[in-house]
Amino acid sequence: MAIHFEADAGRTGGQVGLLSWPAADAGSSQEHRVLLCVSCRVAIRPDDGIRLHFWRTHRLEGEALGQIVDYSHAAEPIANPYTVPLPADGSPHIEQLPVVDGFSCSDCRFLTTSPKLIKVHRSRAGHAQVTGGRGSNGGWSEVRLQTLSLGSHARYWAVEQGPARTASPGVSGPTSASSQYI
Ligand SMILES: [Zn+2]
Ligand SMILES: [Zn+2]
């Protein structure tokens, strides 16, 4: 099962869409699903989070806001992007979310966008010192990361290391009502 993005079929003027991906436990037909703000390229917390985001950030109210809230209710269950299990490392990158450069620890699943934090992590975690050879830059490798949320709620997964790069955050995504597999 692939990661799948479904635009809103015109019901909210292309402002939101649903991103879904399979749950990690094999054999499960379950999937995780979050609501994306297409222009901000972030996932939005359900219920009050949706109201607050579109009211505060996009100044929507009345019917326009109601359409998005209705859409989200019809799409239930929607997960909280702050706590939902993330797509697997090595997944193809998701076009609707920004890709950022980051670092992956060679000895555990620690991922960060900060060159300072990867060094702090290496020493705090007590990983063996790396001298030359594997991860000759100190026990980590450079990777490309995606996240559902920004700021203090950012949690990263590493995406396929392809040459393709998505545009920087803030660029509007597709507004077509089509559904595409990525
Ligand atoms: Zn937004
Ligand atoms: Zn580590």
Peptide bond into 77 cis (omega under 30): yes
Task: Tell me, in angstroms, the distance from the centre of ligand 2 to residue 111's CA.
Answer: 8
Q: How many helices (H) and strands (E) does the chain have?
A: 3, 9
Task: Tell me, in angstroms, the distance from the centre of ligand 2 to residue 31's CA.
Answer: 28
Q: What is the pLDDT of residue 9?
A: 78
Question: For the whole model, what pTM was predicted?
Answer: 0.80
Q: What is the pLDDT of residue 125?
A: 94
* pLDDT (tens place) for every residue of the chain, 182 residues total: 588 999 987 888 899 999 999 887 766 678 999 999 999 999 999 989 999 999 999 999 999 999 999 999 999 999 999 999 999 999 999 999 999 999 999 999 999 999 999 999 999 999 987 765 554 467 999 999 999 999 899 999 999 986 555 544 444 444 344 444 44
Task: Tell me, in angstroms, the distance from the centre of ligand 2 to residue 112's CA.
Answer: 11
d(CA 103, CA 142): 5
Q: What is the pLDDT of residue 170?
A: 43
Ligand nearest to the CA of 170: 1
**Residue-wise pLDDT tens digits, 60-75:** 999 999 999 999 999 9
Residue 90 main-chain phi, psi, to 5 deg: 90, 0
Ligand nearest to the CA of 59: 1
Q: What is the pLDDT of residue 161?
A: 80
For 38, the 3-state DSSP assignment is coil
